[in-house]
Structure formats: C-alpha cells, structure tokens
Structure 1
C-alpha cells in the first residue's frame, strides 16, 4: 500500500512513459515524476539537488537511451526488473521503519540503492546520497544543516556509474561538465551555508531577541556584568562561567549582556561596552538539540565543528551555553572518549571562541570542575542569591512587563510581600526566581477569578499563593498574627486541663520569639516537657499545632536507641544501603517548614541524637547526607521526658500538689540525662503536675464529648449521671500512669456494650442512652430513652 502522494507519483510515471511512447516503465520515469511532485521535489532540494538540471538529464536520457514506439503501434507498457527491485526495496524500507504506507521518501531512498541505474547516478552526481535522504526523513536535517557533503562521483571511474552510459556523447559531455561546475559552486556554497545553517539550527540569537523586545531587562548584577565584560575582552581564556544556585539569574545575566551589547551597537551605553564588543552578537547554544538525532558515529562531532567553524568565520560571536556541564561526556561512546568539551578546548584556549557558560554549584563540582583541562579555560563568576531588598528592586523593574501581560496592576505592598514571604516561607528554591513566580501566579489568579472586577494584585493575593506553594495554612502566612497569639493561651486551656502553669510558660516563650526577641537563626521555640506519664505532655504539643495551624510531626525516640538508627533522620553514610534516599527528619521539615516537631521520650534516644539536636537548636539548620539543608526557623521543637518522674512522685503521692522539693529532685534527675550545653539551648524546661480529681472530671467530660461526636453519625446521644461521671474519673486515674487508663475504661465499660446495642439491639435506629452506676459486677448500667 502507498500513500496518495506515492500513488500519484507512480501514476505520473506511467503517464510520462506513455506520453513518450516508451515500451518499458523504468526507475528514471519514477524519478522524473518525483521531481514534479511537491514532497519528492522538496526532499531532493533539501539534500542539495538541482531540480531543473535533473529534469534536463532525465529528458536527455529518455531521448537517447530509451526507444519510442511509432505512432499507431499498440503500446503495452512493461516494468523493468530495476523498477521491480526498487519497489520491493521501498516496501522493505517502509516495513523496517514501522510505517504503514510507502511514501515518496521511501521511493527516493530505494532509487539510491540501485547503484547500476541512471537515476541513482544522476542523483549521486549532484551529491545526494541515501544517507542524506534518511537524515532528512528521520530528523528534518537538510544537507547544509547536516554538515559537509559526501564525496561525489566523477567520470567513468566513479563506482556505480552505469556501464551503458555513453560518455563520448557530445550532449551528455556538455551536460556532465555543466553539472560538475554546478556541483563545485554548489559545494562551495554549501560549505558557506553549512556553518551558517548549523548555528541557526542549533542556536538562538539573543541579540535578535533583544532587538525584538523579547528579553526582560536586567536589574542589578552590575558587578557580575562588569566582570563578564572584562573576561570577554581578554586575549586568551576569555570565557566566563556563571556559577550559582538554580533561579538566581544566570540566564538572565547572559540575556542582560545581549541587551547591553545591542544598546551599544545602536549608540547607547557606549561608555559601558568596550569597542571590541560593540558589534558582538550573542547566541544561546542548544546542546541537547545538537545531541538529538545524532545516532550515527561522528554526527555530533560534525555539528560541533560546524558551529565552531562559523563562529570563527563571523569573528564577533559570543556563544552562551546553558547547563555547560552537559558538554562533559556529551557525544562520547564506549569506543571513543572524545566528547564535546574535548572538541571545544583548543578554540577556547586560543581565544578564537568566546563562550559563556552557566551551571549550578553542584554540577560545577560534580562534572565541570573534574575536567581540569576544561575548567581552567573558563573564569568562574559566582552569582549569589540576592537579598529580599534586592529582590524587591528586581520585582519593581519587572513590574511593567507582567502588568502588560496580565492586564492588571501590582501594588508596592504586593511586591514587597512577594520578596519577603518568598524568602521566609519557600525554602527549597532561590530568589529572585521564587518571588517572580509568586507575582506571576498571583496575577494569573486575580485575572482568572475576576474578583468583583478587581484589576489590582494586593498583599493578600500574594499570601494566598505563598500558602499554596509552601503547603501551609493561609492564616500562617499573614504578616500580623497578633490575634492568633493573643488567644493561644485560652485555646490551649480549653483542651488541656490542670496544666495552667505549663501552658503559661509555653505561650510566653512563643510570644517572645514571635515578637522578634529571640534569635533570628533559631527555631520558634525549643521546649522540654517533664513530669509523670499521662498528664498531657504529648497532648499539649498536638493541640499547639492545631491552634497555630501548623503541621504536627511526632518521632518516638524509643525507635532511635541504637547508634545506627539515628542515621535514619539525616540519611545513611556513603557506602551504606539507603544512602541516596536522604533523611526522614530533613525531608519532613523540607516538605513542611511550619511544623510542631515532637520528640517523644527523648531520654530513650542514643546520645548521638542530642549532638544532632544541638545544631538544630543553635542555628535552626540540619543537613542530610546529600548536602540538602532543612530550615528549622519556623519549627516549634518540643521534647518530652519522663526522667525525674519517679523522684517527683516520691515526695508527691496521691492527688496533692507537687512541692518545691520534688521539683528540685526532678531537675537533679534531668541533669544526669541531659548535658549542660543541651539544657542551655532550651527556651524553657516546663514541668507538668500530677492530675487532681477535679481535673480528671473535666477530662471525663472531654472524652465523652469526643464519643458523642462519633455516636452522632448513628443518631445516638450519650449522657452521664453525676455518679457515673465520678466513677469513671476514679476508675480511669492511676497515680503512676495519669489519665491514660481512662481511655481503656471508657472503651471497655461504655463503648463495648454500646457497640452491641447499635449493631443488634435497641440503638439500631438511634436513640438516647443514659449511663448510671451499676450493681454487682457491672460498674455501669444503661437506660435507653
């Protein structure tokens, strides 16, 4: 089966043979038809062919080599064996390439396989090879873009020349000479076009983009720009490389240089650009594009050399290679160690090629710096992350571009909030990129939602986008959280009973931190909760996260009693299983920078855990085994400990208040567990008191409210009599375990009987249950209303 275009070509070939009264339909008729069909003629021209000259050769061949039957004699057209071989080859090529139908390109490639045919000879004389056709079919590469042309066939000694071609024929000699002259001129023309075409194919002119107004202005970076110009003006090794974190403006600096050179060429900014650079043109080279489609050995090297050749010819070209570390190893194979960097090194060292590279610190260290021959030919220029104030100036400089694109306006407060909040809350990216993304997305959101026809982006819009970016509640973003901090004490007292003194110390420490009186490089707070078990230490941390609107993470330190287990938090050392997976704690804080972090029962952890926590409490930073940093500046660190509980209980038995003597004994016990440097980094050591009976009654009420919330789904309501409430408090309290047994008592004595009634008894359709004191072995009895 053939495509409509291929069928049309074959039909035209038949028509041409019949028009000329030829007895045989041959390959040359098909080639002649290809020169008249759009797709076929396009391929021939793209591969360097001359359609007019090719038609002249074929016409001469038809007149001199093929016999024409007289008029009136019956014509029975027959296919030559060569045509049959050509069609079989075309079908095989189509099947091998996975295409369903034969098209004109397959027919042309099949013609070039018939080396003993006149058609293949004519194409070869024009410098067209089967490889050229395949390159164009597969990758759209023209002969000029693909590099130098293959050797052409000349004279009777050329392999593949038909034996029956009469070279002594005057007409053929004349055409052959013309064809050779055209070929030589075309070859030289292709040599000139090949470099130009290679640069245009694999690079983008930043100067042209600057002329078209498609490049944003460069704000700041004056020192780096001056150093770049100074390096480019050197006699040798005049190649700067920009090294910085992703998003700090490496590509923007190269585009800013193109803008400056374009302005100098027009007569502006001449005092900032030396004479030798005023006519320079900046091209951004696409290394991945050069690698694409280079499946044959030598293709990639040929493209690199073509680019270098044109840069040398033009003389005033500056190449910008983004992600320049990709040059190391690019194009090398198992059989050859030659890569792109090896090809570039001579031109880079001599000063013939001026090149600007950009890469990150990690890639510079891992790839670029290891190739000493390449790195010494470049001059390193560091691009540090700008401050929030510098980012604000950059945003003001870009404001007009984004206002024009979105059709809205930005307030100064919105730009200030974008710079400040991006620096404060988005910790896994870098300024100014993350701040620019904030204003861009906020503007898109305002424009799409069309809030009451508003055409202005305000600080509140930026805060909403930051909340989505950082994965935290929107209310945590607000620059003023006075209201939330003001009600923090009261909301904690509503859910935590009997620990008023501990709650007061906790809220005071958090308010000091939020007021800016704490260290700027420390967590929000570092607290140690001590006291008997079951008195609410863990629950305070959980409720604190809920009130602040922060993420809550709990780590049980009993899982980190061994030395090797501690490495799970920051990642395994090199050579161990899981080295490339990072650390649990570092990953957790990187994902949730606003977290209440609870380290439960810290005294059970291995001593190495305390060494890790020292840097967290001191510098609010933790680095994993892969060099990634987690920022703890917005983390509330809470550690609980039962150390000293036994000593405190020795002088405080029953439901009496803890005395000063017992508290002193508890602190003495903590000093044996925690080192002085660890204790000195804590904001507060908060001691929790044992629970008195009146507090236990309030805890019973809390548990019953929670149970009623679950029963509401079944339309069941539960109430307690005063006697049953007191009995639950007595049965649920243990001096050694605090309020922990209460949950078990409620589950066994209340929830278990109710479950049977809900599933099989009187509460299948809902109802009201009153719990009262029981008699005999039953602690409680139930009345159903």
Structure 2
C-alpha cells in the first residue's frame, strides 16, 4: 500500500509526463516528483541533496535527453522497467520490515539502486549515497550527520534548542516549582527526610530509595526536600542544590530505533553531572528496569545508571512500592545495592490529623471554604474506618479535597462568608467513596440498631432466642467492644429446614441497610471449587481475575454474606474461612487482601435438624411440642436432649478451631401452630401488596386463615409447605381471575372456607366481602384485606391456638385421615 505522500509524488510525476508528452514514466520523473512535494524535499534535504539544483538538472534532462512523441489524447502511460523494479523493491522492503505502507524514504532508497539512471547520477554528483538516505530515515532529525539540510527549517530551531537542554525537555525542576509556590508543605515526615539527607551526604552510593505502600507520601517526601532546599532549611552543602524529577515517559516517547533511548538518557546524565549540586528524582523507580531495552538485549536504563550510581557522580532519589520492589528491583541485586532503602510507613490517626491541619489552608484557599478542626478529625477517622483499600494520609486528603469541592459547588453564586464544610458533608463523601449508606456513618444507624431486634422479630416469627443472640453480637461489634479486625459478626445458624434461617440473614441486611450476598454451598462440593471463591491459582485460566467472594466483598465492603447450607461444602472451604473469622481478611490468589471487618458473615446448616425433631426415647415416645416461649410440653426433657444431639452432630461436622472462631452457634427452633397463624398473615400480606398495583384488594376470612395454618403446618418442613399451599389454593385461582375473570380491571377477592373447601369470591369493591360474610359460620369472620391482614397478625401475635395431639391432627370424627385430601374447587 502506498502512503499519501508517495501518491502525491507519483501524481506529480505523471502530470509531468503528460505535460511534456513523454512516451514513458521514468525514474527521473519520480525523482522530479519528490522535488515538488514537501515530504520529498524533506527526505532529499535530510540526505544532503540540494533540491533546487536537482530540479534544474532534471528539467534540463527532460528538455535535452527525452523527446515529446506521445500523442496528447493517449490515456495510458507506460512505466519503464526501472520504475517497476523500484516499486517492487519498495514493497518487498516494507513487507520484510512488517510495515503497512510505502513511504517517500523507501522510494528514494529503492531509487538509489538504479545504478545506470540519470537520477542516481545527479544525486551522487551532489554527494548523496544510499547510506545517507538510510541514515536519515532511520534516525531522522536527531542524527547530526544526516540532518544538515533539515536543521535550516524554522521548526527545527526549537527542536535543536530543546535537544541542547535535555533537563528542560525530559525533567521537571522541583526546586523551581517550590519557588513558584506549586508544592504543598511536608508535615510529619521529619525523620524520613532527615534520613534521606544523611544518605545524600555520603561519599559513595548516596542514593536514598523510599519504599512504601501507595498513598503514604513517598513522592511528597521528594517534593518536601525541594521545598526545604528553596527555604534554606538544609545543611550548607545543599543550599545551592537543584532537584530534578525525571519523566520516563517523555524519555521513551518517540524512540523508535535502537540507540535513541540510550542517547537521550546519556545526554540527561551528562547535563546532571555538569551541575555541581544536581539531584535526580525517579518516581516509580522500578520502571527503569527494562526501559529502553531491545528484544534480546540486556542494555536498559538501569544498566546505564549503575556506574554513575556506584561512583557517587550522580545523586539519585527513587521511590517504589513494596510489591514492585519485590517483583522488579530485588531481582537486580546490583541495582539494589546502590540504593539505601528507607521504609515509609502509614502515619497514625493523630499524625494524619496534624498533616491535614497543615494542608487545610491550601485547600481552603483553593475551594474558598472553611474547615474546622473537628471536621478534619472526622475526615481522618471516617476514611480510616470505612475506606479500607487505601492508606492514610492519601485517602484523608482526598476526602478533604472532594468535600471542599462539593460544598463550593453546592453554594456557588452565594456571596458573603466562605461556606463551612460540616461533618455531614464529610459523611456524605466517605459514604460515596466506600460504597456504604450515609446513615451507617451518622446518628441514623443508632435508630436502626436500637430497633434491630424488634424489626427482625417482625420479619421472622418464633425465633426470638436466635434473633436475640444475633442482635447482641451485632451491638457489641458496633459499640467497638469486639476484637479489632474481626468481622462485624460470624454466626452459624442451624436447625430444621424452612424455619427462617435464610430469612433472618436477608432481613438483617435490609434492617442494617447493606448489601446481601448469598452463596449456595452446594456449588462448592469439590476440592477445586475453593478457587471459585478466592480465584484460580497461577498458571490456570483466569488466575488474575480474583474470586467470586473476594471481588464481591471488595465492591461491597459493608454487606451481609450468607453461605447457605455449609454442610454441603468441601472441608477446604472451612479452612479458608478461618482467617476471615479470625483476622477479618482474605487473601486471593493475586496477593490482594480483601477486608471483611465490616461484613456480617452468616452460615446456615441443616446439620442436627433430624436430631432436633426426632423422638427423645424409643419408638412411641411423644414428640415434644415447643411453645412460643421455647418451653417443651409433653416431652419432659426431650427438647434439651434433642438440642444436645444436634450440637453433637455439629461437632462431628465442623472442627473445633472452626467453631471456636464463631461469635455464636445460633439454634433455630421448629415452628409451632401459633406461629403458623402469623406466617399466614405475612404471606397473605405479601400477596396483597403485589395485587395493590392492579387495583385488587385481597381479603381472608378467619376460618380460611385457621384452615391454612392447620393444613400448612409441618414441624419437619417448616414454612415452605404453607408457601406451596398458598400457591395452590390462592395464587392459582387469583391468576385465573386476573387474566380471564372478574379481576381484569380490578376489584376485590375474598378467600373463604365453605364446607371444608377454600373458595375465592371475586367482585367489585365491597361486594365480594358482603356476599361472602353471611355464608361464613364463624361470627368473627371478617375480611382481612391489605389493612385487616395486618390487624389480624397483631391480634394473633400473643394468642395460643387450641393444642392438638400430634396423632389426632388431620382426622375427621369418623376417624378417616384427611391430611392429604385435596378439598379445593377453585
């Protein structure tokens, strides 16, 4: 493919052939086209040719050596074999070089191989050889020997001036920036800065290296040194020093050919050595390892710097992180020994408050706001507590900066005094940064915690003891009385199926206002399934993508994590969770630590459910029936014995070190008959709320309510049979009426019991209930629509239904068992 410049050259050459009525397109025409285009002139001048003289010689050749024999109306122009060879060589060259298009330089290089042509004769007469052309197109304007013609251009003057001062082109003078007021003061890092000055004063290997996590202030240390030099607060030998920050990106930019990078870096080093008190600062020092190296070559920036660093001719300050130091620098022992490592640690809360107090004037003047001292402390404490992925003081400074910007934008255009940044503004910013509800940071959380137990009991019935255990543990954690670094709570819920274990976890997330993350442990039964939670090991597909659990918690650090049916998971999962419950962290396969200190970890298990519901002794002993208060009736101490058996089943499944790290083993009791009435009201209320959007009111007679509670009661299966019963007896008839019957445009539906059969009566608002009420045999039967269903739930909350012997439930007077008999007609 020919480039746009080559097409322009060929176009000029063809026009010259047509105007002069030459018979063929020759190599000389192509050279003439190069003298008439900007890119062609650039290449010719860069190779050492005189373009004006070359054009005159070619015009004289056309007039004296070529005849005008071609008819003016002949459309086709024939190429000479020389032109064909020229184009073929150029195309072959770019294919071997892996390029896509032919440039003007490629055409000129190919043209120089046409030895017997006048074009090559004229070029060589001016001293231009093929090597000159290759040198120019390889090194361009930066090559001294091949750019004598180009440097006469106006645009090249600025290029030459920049090349004469490599420090101005590739570095930033930090001392000059400090003199201009562009550097913030350094606060609380006097020890590290004094240590760096001591290293710089050494005779040999006077190169400090700041190593620390991102955000602790490594770059600020170098800027603080520049500010000290400007203020004169340094030893006398450093008062004339200048600190330059190297921009490795600028050094690498445009270095297409071998030797360009080395040449630039050598010029920078020579310029630094020429200054008596020059100090070079390389941020992210690990980037020099391998920088500028060609494939298969060992010469890179680090190897170019090593001789100067060891001799003391160049004083260099570097900075890098612990991870990059381990992965890149530590492997090059020859480079590391030339630096003196200085660890930069994260400052404490008080030190960070002092740092913000020193910086607040600069941010207050920039945003035109005011910061109070309590607000600065709130910035540090809230960011330290909730923004766990980053370190102080960086995250606290970001909070101060963003809070000032938000307040200024909110009150833009208002005159008078500067607006004041409040603690509520800080809470709003931290909540956005950490991805948590704002109420979790302020007084709104106190109200949630105060009514947490009440709200959970309103969602899940009959599990007061279990909810009390969970609530007390959550309150201890929120009060700061728990062990530092551990999760906000770690619980194991165990008990029969369908009694509300999963529902308590879901309700807890809603009451706390956090995300709910659920994982079904039946998907993690194999040994290799652990990698799905924490990520695949190195060498496997997707090892750098993290795990499902770690990535989810990293995105939602404040959440309730439910590991459902833990007994089905592989035992290796239990071992992985040990560090989560003990230290509140989980390390994935990429080495990143995920913080679980704000996570409520809940695991559910059906282990021991059979023992909790089994007969206490023998084959015919009565099963204990639990009341709302949790006492056993009719079974003596059978409930305690069943609980002990359930605990033993858990001990066989979970290891002692796993159980010992839990905040509580929370037993869930089986459902009782009085609980079923409240559960019926809850399920019917949920259905009624869905119908309200379609202008349908749902009512429930007292007889139907009692019937649903009795028929849906199954101590072994919990509340799920009731849910299926409501689906068959209520939701299926409702679906028919909503789609094809009398509720298509709204109305009222009442579920009543007639002759032992549930029936759904539908009609207009108020008519269905009045038509159904006289047929009910219960004097207290009344419709329980979306409003009355709630009242019925409150009325029956403390009422105990008549107790029935387990063996007699579901039988008629004649003794025939009707527990599995379907009695619906709708």
Determine if the TM-score, normalized by the shorter chain, exceeds 0.5: yes
Residue 273 (str. 1) matches residue 250 (str. 2): no
C-alpha contact (below 8 Å) 1:529/1:640 kept by paired residues: yes
Distance 2:683 2:495 in 1: 22
- Find 1:503's aligned residue among 463, 467, 472: 467
Question: Within 5 Å, which residues of 2 pair with 1:283-362?
Answer: 283-362=244-323
Deviation at 1:667, TM superposition (A): 3.8
Question: Within 5 Å, which residues of 2 pair with 1:96-107?
Answer: none
Q: Which residue of 1 aligns with 2:646?
A: 669
1:234-284 deviations in whole A, cap 9, x for unaligned?
222111221111111111111111111222xxxx31xx3241x22221111
Q: Which residue of 2 aligns with 1:428?
A: 389
C-alpha contact (below 8 Å) 1:556/1:600 kept by paired residues: yes
Judging changes above 3 Å, is the alpha-carbon distance between structure 1 residues 407 and 29 closer, same or farther for their aligned structure 2 residues?
farther
C-alpha contact (below 8 Å) 2:486/2:581 kept by paired residues: yes
Secondary structure of the residue aligned to 2:439 is: helix
Secondary structure of the residue aligned to 1:540 is: helix
Distance 2:492 2:703 in 1: 38
Q: Which residue of 1 aligns with 2:377?
A: 416
Q: Which residue of 1 aligns with 2:144?
A: 149
Question: Within 5 Å, which residues of 2 pair with 1:214-225?
Answer: 214-225=182-193
Distance 2:108 2:293 in 1: 32
Q: Which residue of 1 aligns with 2:794?
A: none
- Find 1:201's aligned residue among 169, 174, 196: 169
C-alpha contact (below 8 Å) 1:568/1:584 kept by paired residues: yes
Q: Which residue of 2 aligns with 1:262?
A: 230
Distance 2:318 2:163 in 1: 21
Distance 2:54 2:743 in 1: 104
Residue 464 (str. 1) matches residue 428 (str. 2): yes
Residue 584 (str. 1) matches residue 548 (str. 2): yes
Q: Which residue of 1 aligns with 2:328?
A: 367
C-alpha contact (below 8 Å) 1:644/1:667 kept by paired residues: no
- Find 1:538's aligned residue among 502, 517, 527: 502
Q: Which residue of 1 aligns with 2:700?
A: 720
- Find 1:622's aligned residue among 583, 586, 597: 586
Q: Which residue of 2 aligns with 1:392?
A: 353
C-alpha contact (below 8 Å) 2:43/2:136 kept by paired residues: no
- Find 2:208's aligned residue among 237, 240, 246: 240
Residue 681 (str. 1) matches residue 645 (str. 2): no
Distance 1:621 1:782 in 2: 57
Secondary structure of the residue aligned to 2:165 is: helix
Q: Which residue of 1 aligns with 2:814?
A: none
- Find 1:768's aligned residue among 714, 739, 748: 748
C-alpha contact (below 8 Å) 1:239/1:356 kept by paired residues: yes
Deviation at 1:216, TM superposition (A): 1.5
Question: Within 5 Å, which residues of 2 pair with 1:170-181?
Answer: none
1:286-325 deviations in whole A, cap 9, x for unaligned?
1122222111111111111121122222232211111211
Residue 782 (str. 1) matches residue 761 (str. 2): yes
Q: Which stretches in structure 2 are left out of the alignment for 5+ residues?
A: 17-27, 62-82, 152-156, 617-622, 769-826
C-alpha contact (below 8 Å) 2:162/2:168 kept by paired residues: no
Judging changes above 3 Å, is the alpha-carbon distance between structure 1 residues 29 and 597 closer, same or farther for their aligned structure 2 residues?
closer
- Find 2:558's aligned residue among 573, 576, 594: 594
Distance 2:708 2:624 in 1: 21
Higher deviation after alignment, 281-290 or 552-561: 552-561
Secondary structure of the residue aligned to 1:248 is: coil
Judging changes above 3 Å, is the alpha-carbon distance between structure 1 residues 2 and 726 closer, same or farther for their aligned structure 2 residues?
closer
Deviation at 1:501, TM superposition (A): 2.2
Distance 1:724 1:581 in 2: 54
Secondary structure of the residue aligned to 1:714 is: coil
RMSD: 4.7
Q: Which residue of 1 aligns with 2:441?
A: 477
Distance 1:391 1:48 in 2: 61
Q: Which residue of 2 aligns with 1:163?
A: none
Secondary structure of the residue aligned to 2:442 is: coil
Deviation at 1:588, TM superposition (A): 2.0
Deviation at 1:395, TM superposition (A): 1.5
Distance 1:476 1:499 in 2: 26
Secondary structure of the residue aligned to 2:689 is: helix
1:59-104 deviations in whole A, cap 9, x for unaligned?
99999x999xxxxxxxxxxxxxxxxx9xx99xx99xx99999x99x
Distance 1:128 1:198 in 2: 26
Distance 1:505 1:451 in 2: 50
1:94-139 deviations in whole A, cap 9, x for unaligned?
xx99999x99x999999999996989998989x9978668867xxx
1:130-181 deviations in whole A, cap 9, x for unaligned?
8668867xxxxx64xxxx62379xxxxxxxxxxxxxxxxxxxxxxxxxx99x
C-alpha contact (below 8 Å) 1:616/1:622 kept by paired residues: yes
Q: Which residue of 2 aligns with 1:523?
A: 487
Q: Could you tell me the TM-score, scaled by structure 1's length?
A: 0.78
Residue 574 (str. 1) matches residue 532 (str. 2): no
Deviation at 1:383, TM superposition (A): 1.2
C-alpha contact (below 8 Å) 1:285/1:322 kept by paired residues: yes
Residue 249 (str. 1) matches residue 183 (str. 2): no
Deviation at 1:370, TM superposition (A): 0.8
Judging changes above 3 Å, is the alpha-carbon distance between structure 1 residues 388 and 757 closer, same or farther for their aligned structure 2 residues?
same
Deviation at 1:678, TM superposition (A): 2.9
Judging changes above 3 Å, is the alpha-carbon distance between structure 1 residues 588 and 641 closer, same or farther for their aligned structure 2 residues?
same
Q: Which stretches in structure 1 are left out of the alignment for 5+ residues?
A: 15-24, 68-84, 137-141, 153-178, 184-188
C-alpha contact (below 8 Å) 1:647/1:662 kept by paired residues: no
Deviation at 1:2, TM superposition (A): 10
C-alpha contact (below 8 Å) 1:123/1:129 kept by paired residues: no
Judging changes above 3 Å, is the alpha-carbon distance between structure 1 residues 130 and 608 closer, same or farther for their aligned structure 2 residues?
closer
Q: Could you tell me the TM-score, scaled by structure 2's length?
A: 0.74
Q: How many residues align?
A: 710
Secondary structure of the residue aligned to 2:597 is: coil
C-alpha contact (below 8 Å) 1:471/1:592 kept by paired residues: yes
C-alpha contact (below 8 Å) 1:716/1:767 kept by paired residues: yes
Distance 2:127 2:746 in 1: 92
Deviation at 1:608, TM superposition (A): 2.6
Distance 1:120 1:260 in 2: 61
C-alpha contact (below 8 Å) 1:529/1:639 kept by paired residues: yes
Secondary structure of the residue aligned to 2:483 is: coil
C-alpha contact (below 8 Å) 1:569/1:583 kept by paired residues: yes
Q: Which residue of 1 aligns with 2:738?
A: 758
C-alpha contact (below 8 Å) 1:427/1:590 kept by paired residues: no
- Find 2:196's aligned residue among 221, 228, 232: 228
C-alpha contact (below 8 Å) 1:112/1:130 kept by paired residues: no
Deviation at 1:634, TM superposition (A): 1.1
Question: Within 5 Å, which residues of 2 pair with 1:63-82?
Answer: none
